[in-house]
Amino acid sequence: MSAPVVQGWCPGAHRPMMSGDGLVVRVRPRLARLSAEQTRGLCELAEQFGNGTIDLTNRANLQLRGVKEDDHQALLAELAGLNLLDAEPGIEVRRNILVSPLYRSGDRTAQLTQELIDRLEELPTLPAKFGFAIDTGPKRLLAADSADIRVEAGTDGLILRADGAKTGCRVTETNAIDRLIALAGWFSERFTPETRRMARVAATQDLPAEWQGSAPGGIGTPPQPGVCDLGALYGAAFGQLPARQLLDLVTNSGATALRVTPWRLILLEGGAAIQAPDFVIDGTDPLMTTDACPGAPFCPQAQVETRDVARILAAQIPGSLHVSGCAKGCARMGPANVTLVGNDGRFDLVKNGRAGDEPSQRGLTPETLMTMDLT
């Protein structure tokens, strides 16, 4: 098996990534939100230019897959027409912002996020994967999600915190983004090719006292599929949204907008909870905790098909399951109770470990997996 290739940048709409089935074109919704009209338009583009599905990533972005290179410019024009594209590619790269998705229009989460969007060009040069979290609801919801600088609820007001630091500094709604830009400047003068994330830099170079001292506040209960104050939440198995069914769901539920989350959940703003067989509506469904990357034929490094196997095995395995197309383990960096790793058309089995760990068994066929005890 060849060693997996590590990509050094994030795909965007202007700069898509080539995958096994064509280009991956990433759309970064502003404020984690698309209007119903934008959502319907994106679904139609996924059918017209892509493979009919939309990926929901763990940074709450949306991806069209299977786009032909010759169609890329036409797709960009359509995305611009839907106001889903930054005219300036450099701004698109920087707009790497996670937003606590249960905000209300005009509240401080929405205001701070909009200010950051408006001031992106003031940021210094940063690595491609460097990102921000605006997590300023009553309880923090993004504490476990990837971000390098966090504006969040502290025990005593707003704080700004470098990822990896136990505490942050007090900020106000007025100066939070000024301070965020200043902290990004501190990082930009120190990162190296080996330390491209804030937690790595903060661990190896003393973070000045001015950025520390105030503790983060409590962590909230993660949302689950079902009804909430803002509408209805639906789960997306493996973070994959079937475009036609999503279009129907938005229309039939009466939703006015779609909000995206980093947790394989979509929130239909103002939408009713309706029958949706292609989405997860039960928070205890094992598909919500099963990870599987796109696998073959979608990724050029994949050694096996992944998601059909994962769907069948999910209900059979108590605990967490990760089915990975190769040893890179893109879908889950941490350990799972059962990890199956594609290797030359078959699967290697890792128990209580990661995709790159030493397997306890090798060369298992899908048929064998369906009948053997994997626990």
Residues that bind ligand SF4 (CB under 6 A): 4, 293-295, 299, 301-302, 324-326, 328-330
- Backbone Cα Rg of the chain: 21
Place of tokens 């390098």: 148
Shortest spacing between CB 292 and ligand SF4, in angstroms: 8
Structure tokens at 126: 């940063």
Q: Shortest approach of ligand SF4 to residue 94 CB, angstroms?
A: 25
Q: By C-beta, is 100 or 339 nearer to ligand SF4?
A: 339
Long-range contacts of 186-191 (CB under 8 A, 24+ apart): 186/211, 187/126, 187/130, 187/148, 187/149, 187/162, 188/124, 188/125, 188/126, 189/124, 191/126, 191/127
Q: Identify whether the C-beta of residue 137 lies closer than 8 Å to the C-beta of residue 220.
A: yes
CB of 295 to ligand SF4, least distance (A): 6
As beta bridge partners, residue 62 has 27, 56
Nearer of residues 120 and 296 to ligand SF4, judged by Cβ? 296
Question: Which residue number, 140 or 332, has a Cβ lying nearer to ligand SF4?
Answer: 332
Identity of the residue, 268 or 299, whose beta carbon is nearer to ligand SF4 in the bound complex: 299
The DSSP output letter for 25 is E
Residue nearest to ligand SF4 (CB): 325
Rounded Cα distance between 331 and 167, Å, is 29
Handedness of CA 129, 130, 136, 141 (dihedral sign): positive
Nearer to ligand SF4, 7 or 375 (CB): 7
CB of 347 to ligand SF4, least distance (A): 12
Q: Least distance to ligand SF4 from the beta carbon of 18, Å?
A: 12
CB of 258 or CB of 299, closer to ligand SF4? 299
Spatial CA neighbour of 163 closest among 152, 176, 175: 152
To ligand SF4, the closest distance from the beta carbon of 302 in angstroms equals: 4
